[in-house]
Amino acid sequence: MELSIIQNMIYVIRGYRVMLDFDLAGIYKIPTKALKQAVKRNPRRFPPDFMFELTKEKFANLRSQFVTSSWGGARYLPFAFTELGATMLSSVLKSDVAIDASVLVVRAFVAARHLALNPPKNELKELQDEFNAFRQYIEDVFTDQNDINEDTRIQLDLFGQSLAELQAGYRESGKNRRQVGFTAPQYKQT
């Protein structure tokens, strides 16, 4: 069984990371009834911080998270095993499958703890932050550019007004303007 599948069977109940008896029975490849009987025969091995029975409310809340058949399902409230209790099961069940399954369960709990202590980097969040910083930088550059453009526009307007005044003054003076460019010589017709 893959580690990721086992990790998906870990729930947080009463502040503990736990696995439910029917999930553990599937991993240990025994019927849930046999697992419960083994636990009940060895109560000293399962103190309250190793294993506890779910309340009806907690189980009803959890049941909504996974599918159960409408005509079957659990008749008894499930046991919730902490990491220590799940490990203790291998000593109670005493089979090669139980030992191998116990190793997988412990690895799943350790991986879940590691994930809780060292959450993965949210690369999307980092990219969004970088993008927002870049956007702000671009907006600042354009704001500065618009300030420069506004100054340049004012100067060009003043330059245009000066040229218009010069042209108006030149026209008013009445001087004939000399033509610019190539002019063809005028020939007399005979």
- The whole-model pTM stands at 0.54
In whole angstroms, what is the distance from residue 97 CA to residue 104 CA?
11
pLDDT at 69: 44
DSSP 13-77: ETTEEEEEHHHHHHHHTS-HHHHHHHHHH-GGG--TTTEEEPPHHHHHHHHTTS---SS---SSP
Q: pLDDT 10s per residue in the chain (190 long)?
A: 677 788 888 888 888 888 898 888 888 888 889 889 988 998 899 898 889 988 888 877 776 665 554 445 556 788 999 888 888 887 888 777 777 777 888 888 888 878 777 776 777 777 777 877 877 887 887 777 766 677 777 877 787 788 777 777 766 665 666 666 776 777 776 6
* CA dihedral over 115, 98, 64, 67, signed as positive or negative: positive
pLDDT at 73: 57
